[in-house]
Amino acid sequence: VKSPRSTPAPALASLYRPLDIGGGRTLRNRVALLPMTRTRAEIDGTPTALMAEYYAQRAEAGLIVTESTAVSEVGRGFLTAPGMYTTEHALGWREVTDAVHARGGTIFLQLNHVGRVNNLQHLRRPVPPVAPSAMPIPATERNITVNIARVTPYARPRALDTDEVPLVAQQFGHATRLAVLAGFDGVQVHADSGYLIHQFLSTNVNRRTDRYGGTARNRARFALEVIDAVTGVNGPEYVAMKLTPGLTLSDIEEDDIDEKYGYLIDELNRRGEFAFLHMQIEKLAESALYKGIRANFRGPVLAEDSRPAAEYAQWVDSGTADLVGFGRDFISNPDLPERLAAGHPLAPIAAESVYTGDATGYTDYPRWSGPERPSSTRPCPAGPAAPPR
Ligand SMILES: Cc1cc2nc3c(=O)[nH]c(=O)nc-3n(C[C@H](O)[C@H](O)[C@H](O)COP(=O)(O)O)c2cc1C
């Protein structure tokens, strides 16, 4: 698929310049499909043929970052969210990467461990979730039990022992080895959104007194051990990291953002050239923290803040970002890069089918075929509410 077929308006032209991310990989445009949990895997976390179809439909994105994918059974937060810790998982993902590559796309696997944000209803023998400290998520937090219409309190997690923490980091390394075998172009470490790495980074839910708690550097130690485990597989150029400083999802607080994220970026730079850094910050374009990180980080930056395409194109033009991404618009517009280039209106997303387990609202959004045929026949509420990230 040539992307785009249409000549984009000058205001959007910067989004369609190729981008070199090292390792012989050139993204054909600057429009990424952002990582989005869609809960279409098997109950054991194995990716399905339907997932291969979904990602292949969106392969004209310059870059696909997959949905959050668990590095271990206990690290899986949602029923029918995928995993990458068994050979069956890797074989399932291989079908996804083959389908995307057949259409000339580039695909990174987002690796995650949810820590205490875990409902564990997928486990045959439920065990407590693990976390930096034995602090449950407050009962007032919404527990999204995907595919099951019930809301339960989160379980009290077990604090990881000091010598267990490097083993959890190694699970990210194991998943990366499987990602290489499954044909991924790279992996992205999900260090944000209130999940395990972010729990270690936080100042409120990490109460540890060992080498993983206390100072900003100690709280960043687990993140860097994960980075060392994943870069140990195929070098830093195979790896991206996603950071959301200040995002308070799942009751996360961070009182030391400047010091801690500054340190993390320095440590990444020290390790070499990464594929890219993915950043989401509220009011990103005006954020002093972001500007500092952008200036300091050695590699390309994927930035997002739910902005319209024309504003994202200005970001690329002005050097605010190298790459931008869309989430919800890419769900309902599988041909989004072409549709934006051609100036066609965007189809709305149907909120009620975002997390259901079948093709409806997943692979049945059509490509643009003219204004006479509505792009989506489903009713359109305001769009999905607070998503799992
Ligand atoms: C349905 C849904 C699922 C999401 N799941 C993830 C995820 O698995 N990993 C992640 O890093 N972000 C996740 N996000 C956040 C998106 O990557 C993105 O940041 C967000 O949708 C804002 O971009 P948009 O305004 O273009 O939709 C999710 C968002 C949505 C809507």
- The arithmetic mean of pLDDT across residues 199-212, rounded, is 97
Confidence label for 140 from pLDDT (cuts 50, 70 and 90): low
Atom number in ligand 1 closest to CA 354: 1
Q: Is the CB of 188 under 6 A from ligand 1?
A: no
| Single-letter amino acid, residue 317 | D
Question: pLDDT value at position 372?
Answer: 53
φ, ψ dihedrals at 8, nearest 5°: -70, 150
The CA 278 to ligand 1 mean position distance, Å, reads 13
Q: Is the CB of 315 under 6 A from ligand 1?
A: no
**Whole-Å CA distances, 99 to 36, 56, 102, 103, 104:** 18, 5, 5, 7, 9
C-beta of residue 58 within 8 angstroms of C-beta of residue 48: no
The CA 53 to ligand 1 mean position distance, Å, reads 19
Question: pLDDT value at position 379?
Answer: 40
Q: How many CB atoms lie within 10 A of CB 248?
A: 12
The CA 327 to ligand 1 mean position distance, Å, reads 6
Cα–Cα distance for residue pair 130/285, rounded to 1 Å: 35
Question: pLDDT value at position 287?
Answer: 96
Confidence label for 25 from pLDDT (cuts 50, 70 and 90): very high
Cα–Cα distance for residue pair 176/192, rounded to 1 Å: 18
DSSP-derived 3-state class of residue 28: coil
Q: Is the CB of 37 under 6 A from ligand 1?
A: yes
The CA 340 to ligand 1 mean position distance, Å, reads 20
Q: For residue 22, what are its two tokens?
A: 């090292």
Question: Which of 34, 63, 355 is the best mutation target for the ligand 1 pocket, counting ligand atoms within 8 Å of the beta carbon and taking the most?
Answer: 34
Question: pLDDT value at position 381?
Answer: 38
Q: Is the CB of 68 under 6 A from ligand 1?
A: yes
Confidence label for 152 from pLDDT (cuts 50, 70 and 90): low
Question: pLDDT value at position 97?
Answer: 98
φ, ψ dihedrals at 183, nearest 5°: 90, 15
User: Is 195 labeled as catalytic in the residue annotation?
Assistant: yes
Q: Is the CB of 245 under 6 A from ligand 1?
A: no
Question: Does the structure show a pLDDT above 70 at 382?
Answer: no
The overall average pLDDT reported for the chain is: 91
Question: pLDDT value at position 189?
Answer: 98
DSSP 383: -
The CA 160 to ligand 1 mean position distance, Å, reads 28
Question: Does the structure show a pLDDT above 70 at 350?
Answer: yes
Nearest CA to ligand 1 atom 6: 389
Cα–Cα distance for residue pair 287/260, rounded to 1 Å: 16
In terms of Cα–Cα distance, which of 361, 305, 354, 388 is closest to 68? 388
**H helical segments located in 5-86:** 49-57
Q: Measured at the alpha carbon of residue 380, what is the angle toward residues 376 and 382, in degrees to the nearest 5?
A: 140
| Strands 130-131 and 26-27, bridge-based pairing | unpaired
C-beta of residue 307 within 8 angstroms of C-beta of residue 282: no
The CA 62 to ligand 1 mean position distance, Å, reads 17
pTM, two decimals, is: 0.94
Print the SS3 string covering 195-227: CHHHHHHCCCCCCCCCCCCCCHHHHCHHHHHHH
Atom number in ligand 1 closest to CA 34: 17
**Whole-Å CA distances, 322 to 36, 177, 250, 279, 298:** 21, 28, 29, 11, 12
Question: pLDDT value at position 122?
Answer: 63
Model pLDDT for residues 256-309, shown as the tens digit of each residue: 999 999 999 999 999 999 999 999 999 999 999 999 999 999 999 999 999 999
Residue 53 buriedness (CB in 10 A; 0-12 / 13-18 / 19+): middle
Cα–Cα distance for residue pair 283/200, rounded to 1 Å: 25
The region, left, alpha or beta by phi > 0 then psi within -120 to 50, assigned to residue 229 is alpha
Q: Is the CB of 388 under 6 A from ligand 1?
A: yes
Q: Is the CB of 251 under 6 A from ligand 1?
A: no
- The arithmetic mean of pLDDT across residues 174-190, rounded, is 98
Q: Is the CB of 353 under 6 A from ligand 1?
A: no
Nearest CA to ligand 1 atom 24: 327
Question: Does the structure show a pLDDT above 90 at 181?
Answer: yes
Cα–Cα distance for residue pair 64/62, rounded to 1 Å: 7
Nearest CA to ligand 1 atom 7: 389
Model pLDDT for residues 105-124, shown as the tens digit of each residue: 999 999 999 999 887 666 66
What is the DSSP secondary-structure string of 69-121?
A: EESSSTT--STT--B-SSHHHHHHHHHHHHHHHHTT--EEEEEE--TT----T
In terms of Cα–Cα distance, which of 112, 233, 222 is closest to 164? 222
Find the catalytic residue in 55, 85, 154, 195.
195
C-beta of residue 241 within 8 angstroms of C-beta of residue 277: yes
- The arithmetic mean of pLDDT across residues 236-249, rounded, is 94
The CA 162 to ligand 1 mean position distance, Å, reads 32
Question: pLDDT value at position 356?
Answer: 83
Question: Does the structure show a pLDDT above 90 at 235?
Answer: yes
Cα–Cα distance for residue pair 240/275, rounded to 1 Å: 5
